[in-house]
Amino acid sequence: MIETKKITKSYGCGESKTDVLRDIDLKIADGDFTVILGASGTVYQYGLLKLMVSVVFADVGNMPQYSFDFRALIVTLVLFVITYELVMYLYSRSIKRLSVKSVMLE
């Protein structure tokens, strides 16, 4: 069983401090299937899941720390935009060679 009481988690400090979890009580019995619903990728879900993983796996040795890889996100985004623009450029070149009549007849 997993049971937590009065969990509070916040990010930032001072005026920019944001509470993502405030006095959360959670009880999950053995064999229960639990779903966390909300807007996809919210800080609330991330905070709660990270906290739960750290509690569940606290006694497991050599557990790696996970964090969001912003560098991989930027590289993936840049490669996607380059690939998309290249495909659109090549597609527009092929369309320019066609006449309106041939496009309408297809």
29 is written with which tokens?
Answer: 């019995």
Residue pLDDT, tens place only, 78-106: 999 999 999 999 988 888 888 888 777 77
Which helix (H) or strand (E) segment is 96 a member of? helix 70-96
pTM comes to: 0.35
CA end-to-end distance (rounded Å), the chain: 63
Report the C-alpha gap between 77 and 42 in whole angstroms.
20
Question: What does the domain layout of the chain look like in residue ranges?
Answer: 2-56, 70-105
Residue pLDDT, tens place only, 36-85: 666 666 666 677 777 777 766 666 666 566 677 788 888 999 999 999 99
